[in-house]
Amino acid sequence: MSETVTLEALPGPIELDLDHTALIIIDMQRDFLLPGGFGEALGNDVAQLQRVVEPLAALLDAARAAGMLVIHTREGHLPDLSDCPPAKLHRGAPSKRIGDPGAFGRILIRGEYGHDIVDELAPLDTEVVIDKPGKGAFYATELSKVLADNQITQLLVTGVTTEVCVHTTTREANDRGFECVVVSDCVGSYFPGFQRVGLEMIAAQGGIFGWTAPGAAIIPLLKERAPAEPAV
Ligand code: C5J
């Protein structure tokens, strides 16, 4: 067992084993975040998601400096939509459905500009990118294998949206035995009420799905671990 650090979190402190912890960044995609994109076309206020970018970029920098495994996910589908179940495809207003032309290419289709991650959080070549057809990052993906191969037992969960893909992934992870810390200012919802309640639901009942903590509580723990800059 490696050394652990104590993270002050809700519903109480958690011992984090940083050697076996990964940062997972859920669906920070242009289609969801950019003005003019799919999210906004559905009538959503994308500013609610954009405010996640800055704190998440700071957490990502700290995780990279600490040598932590970083995993990015993207929700989307094959161009022929063969991996999109009819129940998902036929939902929503016509012309604003998955695969329809949008401001940034076909909506939520792999390879399109809108499907990719916003520039501020662009994955490094060395980082894992998981393309997922569902809301949860475990369903029909290689995520379980990536985590097992890297001996990961704990996850820092970030991204969008809090009540949809962040929640689904956290619940899937919790059922698989991972301890999840949902980073409260690094997750976002289009709906302020869902953001608040979504976070409360994670830590309720003694941490029924996991813990919540702000990035500011986690970053110093990562910095302590990062190798010192060489003196010049
Ligand atoms: C949604 C997501 N909200 N990434 N996707 O459809 O949460």
Q: What is the pLDDT of residue 165?
A: 98
Asked whether residue 85 is domain-assigned, the answer is: no
Asked whether residue 232 is domain-assigned, the answer is: no
Asked whether residue 12 is domain-assigned, the answer is: yes
Which residue among 42, 49, 165 is best mutated to probe the pocket of ligand 1, counting the most ligand atoms within 8 A of its Cβ? Answer: 165
Asked whether residue 190 is domain-assigned, the answer is: yes
Q: What is the pLDDT of residue 28?
A: 98
Asked whether residue 135 is domain-assigned, the answer is: yes
Mean predicted confidence (pLDDT) in 73-80: 98
How many structural domains comprise the chain?
1
For ligand 1, the distance from its centroid to the CA atom of residue 84, given in whole angstroms, is 14
CA-nearest residue, atom 5 of ligand 1: 165
Span 93-152, pLDDT tens digits = 877 899 999 999 999 999 999 999 999 999 999 999 999 999 999 999 999 999 999 999
Question: Rounded to whole angstroms, how far apart are CA atoms 132 and 168?
Answer: 12
Band (pLDDT 50/70/90 cuts) for residue 1 is low
Asked whether residue 20 is domain-assigned, the answer is: yes
Question: Rounded to whole angstroms, how far apart are CA atoms 92 and 81?
Answer: 16
Asked whether residue 170 is domain-assigned, the answer is: yes
CATH of the domain at 182: 3.40.50.850
Domain holding 219, by residue range, is 4-31+50-73+119-225
Asked whether residue 111 is domain-assigned, the answer is: no
For the chain, the C-alpha Rg in angstroms (whole number) is 17
Q: Is the pTM of this model over 0.95?
A: yes
* DSSP one-letter string for 20-68: GEEEEEE--BHHHHSTTSHHHHTT--THHHHTTHHHHHHHHHHHHHTT-
